[in-house]
Every structure is written in C-alpha cells, then in structure tokens.
Amino acid sequence: MATGTFAQSIQSPNGRHTVAFQLTPAGEPTYQLTIDGKPVVKPGKLGLSIQNLPALTRDFKIEKTDTSTSSTVWKPAYGEVREIKDHHRELAVHLRHVSNVSLILRFRVFNDGLGFRYEIPAQPNLTYFIVTDEHTEFRLNGNHKAFWIPGDYDTNKYPYSTTLLSEVDALTVSNRHTEIGTRSPIGKNYVQTPLMMHSGDGLYINIHEAALVDYSAMQLQVDQQNFTLTSHLVPDAVGNKAYVRTPFKTPWRTILVSNKAVDLLNSKTILNLNEPSKITDTNWIKPQKFVGVWWEMHIGTATWDYAGTQDMYSPEILSNLKPTGKHGATTANTKRYIDFAARHGFDGVLIEGWNTGWEDWFGKWKEDVFDFVTPYPDFDVAELKRYAASKDVKLIMHHETSGSVTNYERRMQDAYRFMKENGYETVKTGYVGRIIPRGEHHDGQWMVNHYNRVAQALADQKIMLDAHEPVPPTGLHRTYPNWMASEAARGNEFNAWSVGNPPEHETILPFTRLLGGPMDYTPGIFEIKMSAYKPGTAFQVHTTLAKQLALYVTMYSPLQMVADLPENYESRPDAFQFIKDVPVDWDDSRVLAAEPGDYIITARKGKGENTWYVGAVTDEEKRAVPINFDFLNPRQDYLVTLYADALDAHWKDNPMNYTIQQFLVTHNSIVKVILAAGGGAALKIKPATEEEKKRVKRYRERR
C-alpha cells in the first residue's frame, strides 16, 4: 500500500499536458491538470456517494497503479475525417476504500486534453447499487470567461451567455426564455456541459463528458468565489442519480485544453473515449441531405395538426376531425417536396405532422398522444411510398413523442415495423414537453437509457436516427453510427417564432454542443425575415443568407437539412447551387481559424472528391478574414466559387444580399473575405480545368 503522500503523474504524448493524481492525508483522491506547466485544474477532489455505503470520498488507500500508452487508428463509418488517430497515455489508480470497496480512477491524456472516469469493478459484496451523488471537482485557475447555458434538467435550447464565472446567473437567464416550452432550471449557479471557457492567461478550456451510457448527465455547479466547478448529476423522480451494477464505469469526464481555440474544434478526444461501433455492417447508413414539410409549420403558413385545436374538449370532435385546410403534411404537399428533392438531387424528404394526435399534443402531460402508425386522412402512406420510390427519394418519418416516453416505448416496435413496410429508413424523434414517466427528466439516467435503447432498436431494424430534444450528445455516434444527428441545442427554428438566436450563436455551438456530436441545426434559410410571411413581425433569422450557406461547412452533420421552402431556393438558383454541391461526408476537415463567440473558418474535403469546401461565419461584427489555402495540393490550380455577403449586407438591415464570384487559387493563396455583421461566406474549391484556367482570373493577392 502506498501512503497518502504518494503522487503519480502522466503526460500527453506530446508532453504538453500533465495529469497528476494524489491521495490527501485523509485518503481523499485528487487530481490536477497542467498544460505547458500552467495549471488548468488545480488539485480537485473526486468521489462518489452510493446508497447504504459510507461516502466514497475519503479513507482510500492506493493498491496499485498501472500506466500504459496506446496509439491506434480507426475509421468511422462516415465523418469529418477518413480516419482518426487515438494516441493517449493512461493511468489507472486502483483504490481500496476503508469499507473494502474497490474503485479504479482511470485517466487518459491526449494531445488536446484529458478524460477520466470512475470504475467500480466486479467484487464480492457489491453488485447492484444506487449512485446518489458524484463529487467531481474541476478547480479552475481563475475567473474565466465562460460561454454557458443555464443548468436545466429538461432543456438545452437556451442561447449562450458569455460572462465571467463569477457573473453566471442561470435563473435570470432561464426565466427570460419563456419561448422554451419545458424548462427545469436548477439554480442560479448551475450550467450545462459542454462548458466553453477562455482563461485570462490565454487557455481555451472545455469541460464535457464522453460515452454517457446508463448514467445521468453531468451538469456543473459553479463556486463563484473560488471558481471550482462540481459535478451535478440529473436526478430521477425520487432524487437518485443512477441505478447500476458492477462492473461499473461512469462516463468519461473530459477537459479539452489548448492555447489555440482551433485545437478544441479539431479534437477527436471525445470520440476516442467512446466505444467502437456496435454495428458491424454500416453500409446501410447513408449521410444525406434532406428537405421537408417542416419550415412552413415554423413560419406559420401550415400546421402540424389537421383540424386545429378548437373544440377539442369534445371527444366526438376528436373522432370526427374537420380539417382546417392548413395541414402541411398532405399527400399533395409531400409530393411537391418529393419533386423538389428529385429535381435537385436531395436524398430525403422529412414529413412532420403526418400522423394523428397533433390537435392536443402539447402541454397536457398526458400519456396517450400519438400512436405513430395512424396517418391523417389526407396523407396517403401507400401512394407516397410508391411516388417517392418512383422518384428515387427516401421519406423520413417523424416520431414526436411529446415527452410521453412510456407511450413511445410501448409502440415503437410496431412503429419501426410500419416504417420499414412503408419505405422509411430514417426517423426524426422528438421529446417536446415534460417527460412521462412523470418526475423523470430529459437528461436523467432513465431517459439516457431510452435514447440509447432507441438507437439500438433502430440499428436492429437498419434505421437511421435524428433525435430532437435528447440529452446533449457525448460522442455516442461512434458506438451507434446510425444515430447520425441530434438537436439538443437551440436550433434555427427559434428564429422563426421567437427572439431567436443571436448572430454569435453559430460561432459558439461548435465550441459547445457540437463537441459531443453532429447537430441537426436545419441551416439554409434564404428568406431571412419572417415579415415576408407575416407582415409586421420582427422575427427573423439573425444571419445573412451567405452565412446560412457557410453553416453547411461550419456545423458538421451527416444528416443535413435543406430547411427553407422550395420556392425560396428555386428563386435563387445561384446561391442554391452551393447547398446542392456541398457534401455531408468528408475525407478531411480542418478548422483554420476560430474564436468562440466571434468567428469560425472551417475547410473540409468532400468524401472521395478532390474538392474542398470552406465555411466562414462571424458574429454581429463585420470582419475581413484571411483564408489560407495551404491545405490544397501544391501541384494543382483550383477554381474557387465564393458565396459571400454583398458589401452592403447586414444580418438585420440587409440580410439577403449576396455575391458569387469565381477565381483561381493555389496552395500559396491567402484570400481575404469580407463577412458582413452576422454574415458568412461559403467557398467551393475544385481543381481548375484547363478551360477554367483560361477563363477565370487568378486571385490577386498572394503571400
């Protein structure tokens, strides 16, 4: 047995990060993390509380420690890059508690950060147990600037606040956002992960978790004097945190850190900390772009429901619905979207509001809402199956659960059979509303297990998944590659009917939500101002049109919506061309420059193509950003098609003016692109043909 003063440390493969473990004299496990000798987290405590056991926070002794190094390469089924290197050093500290419980703390240090977790191995006298609390501290080294959303058990649809840790006021922010239907804020000083920070000494730090399986999500309590963050697990209906058995492991707690912001965006550490794919044959999983009967409901020109909500107090009316004429998901309207998808080469058509139940689905906390197999009378499932197949377009089914998950679990096997019978290979799920089982939360263990159960059940049926309103992702798309995207943040739809998303929103999401996995943000809105549909309304998308194009590159998702109305695209075929061209699967991705809350410039190379795409987005500030093309093949000239904000563009005053230019570049080029306030730019960069080399001018500036 080692003594309490024993300390052990390991370094990242590049030698920059050091994690050190030590037991205090009282037998308390502590760890610290430094980068380049600078503290990232100061010695902070670790521990668990388990029902009917003394707290596992002190009175430990070290039985042994193991260290190892691992360097492997794996290929994702699809993704931002063709292959991913997993190079880390590991330290496993085997502890024995005075109560005789055996606990392992496992640390893995990568070149861009740290992951660590608790493990309780199989052992006599401890099999099933209830985790009542986790006591993980992140003792930060100062009052960092933080990009945060309020700690909340049921929603992550807040816009980000940027404040010092000492200024976090989550309740005030939460209470301001009444446009979010279901909020369960925890308290003033609670925030969610991924939590992005920027320290006074120039470090970019992100705290999140990886591989959230059979456990509740971790939120963070902020000590606003000492800048210590403490894990706060989402409780269940009776206040417990997790029901588990040995051998047990928590999710990984992750700390990404670098002096360069782009390193965090390029990090694959969270993916590396997840388990390999459980799906052996992934050939059926197809990254895709899709259109759908959707935005028209958000802008209010159509409805999910067929009969409106009038008179719903009478059950006779429910059983004899009278259409309002505003129903979006009709056979005819769906065919219009199928035709649109076929005309422009999009893979899928999502239809929301196809099934009965929307007349009184929301806010009742009622259990029986949707049955997921009964279409409205004006939605002809068989005819649409035939029609979509004739156009080589796939239909995407929508399963809104309204939060009544017990109901969904009863019905989902039948629903998936119904999907397969009718040609649907992708499902978009939704969890709008308070959860049933009542007292459970969106981010608690029971729901975490549900989301994972759905992913597995869908994998068994070879169905792809896009989950809305789930727990924030933690890299599980590695393990369930059919779980292609999630919402789990404030998406573009908020711009249609609320104060919306401020221009900086899309410069923060990649530093926060997207670190856990792809987001179905639904980019591509061309008609920026809602006053186009409803005169007088101030609602609008808080970007320029060009920035909407850029999002297809800066916001990675293998399931990317082309979200606006067909007519808004077909009236702007030149700008629309970028959306038609941009891939959803990549051989390579490189974030070129980024500052959270300010701007992001990302370059990606299309899967199996020799073509690159660049997206650049800014916040509410206009800026000229240099794009360095040194990622290009030096032996090649390239034709750039630049989709940029017009010189007079501005997210608020003139959002829809854009310009499209073509010019030639080489790997030596640095192109300055002007991004309007709330603007962006999208670039397609393909090897120039001889004809293009003659016809098109070279970009004038060079390094």
Shortest Cβ distance from residue 365 to its own copies (Å)?
6
Inter-residue contact 535 to 565 (CB < 8 Å): no
Q: Is 493 a catalytic residue?
A: yes
What distance lies between CA 463 and its chain's CA centroid? 20
Q: Which residue, 111 or 449, has its beta carbon nearer to its own copies?
A: 449
Rounded CA-CA distance 72/114 in Å is 17
The residue type found at 88 is H
389 three-state secondary structure: helix
Would you call the peptide bond into 437 cis, given omega within 30 degrees of 0 as the criterion?
yes
Q: Exposed, middle or buried: residue 315 (CB in 10 Å: 0-12, 13-18, 19+)?
A: exposed
Give the nearer residue to its own copies in terms of CB position, either 152 or 236: 236
The contact set with its own copies (CB under 8 A) reads: 122-128, 130, 236-238, 240, 243, 245-247, 312-315, 360, 364-367, 406, 409-410, 413-414, 437-440, 446, 449
Q: 72 with 86: CB under 8 angstroms? A: yes
Q: In angstroms, give the least distance from the CB of 516 to its own copies.
A: 25
Query: Which of 247/573 has CB closer to its own copies?
Result: 247
Nearer to its own copies, 102 or 166 (CB): 102
Rounded to whole angstroms, the maximal C-alpha distance in the chain is 79
Catalytic residue among 352, 400, 425, 493: 493
Residue 366: CB minimum distance to its own copies, A: 6
Asked if residue 238 lies in contact with residue 444, where contact means CB atoms within 8 angstroms, the answer is no
Pick the closer one to its own copies by CB: 323 or 439.
439
List C-alpha distances in Å: 265 to 431, 487, 507, 521, 547: 28, 18, 11, 17, 19
Report in angstroms how near the CB of residue 314 gets to its own copies at its nearest: 5
* CB burial of residue 317 (10 Å; 0-12, 13-18, 19+): middle
130 vs 373 by CB, closer to its own copies:
130
CB of 412 to its own copies, least distance (A): 9
Structure tokens at 159: 């816009």
Stretch (H or E) spanning 589: strand 586-595
Contact of 33 with 255, CB cutoff 8 Å: yes
Residue closer to its own copies, measured from CB, 312 or 670: 312
Helix (H) or strand (E) holding 110: strand 102-110
User: Least distance (Å) from its own copies to the CB of residue 437?
Assistant: 3
In whole angstroms, the minimum distance from the beta carbon of 319 to its own copies comes to 13
Closest CA to 126 of 213, 53, 208: 53
Measure the N-to-C terminal CA separation of the chain; round to a whole number of Å. 61
DSSP 29-68: EEEEEEETTEEEEEEEE--EEETTS--BTSSEEEEEEEEE
User: Which secondary structure element, helix H or strand E, spans residue 106, and what is its range?
Assistant: strand 102-110
Q: How far is the CB of 372 from its own copies (least distance, A)?
A: 14
Of 386 and 438, the one with the shorter C-beta distance to its own copies is: 438
Nearest-angstrom CA–CA distance, 317 and 25: 72
Known catalytic residues are 493
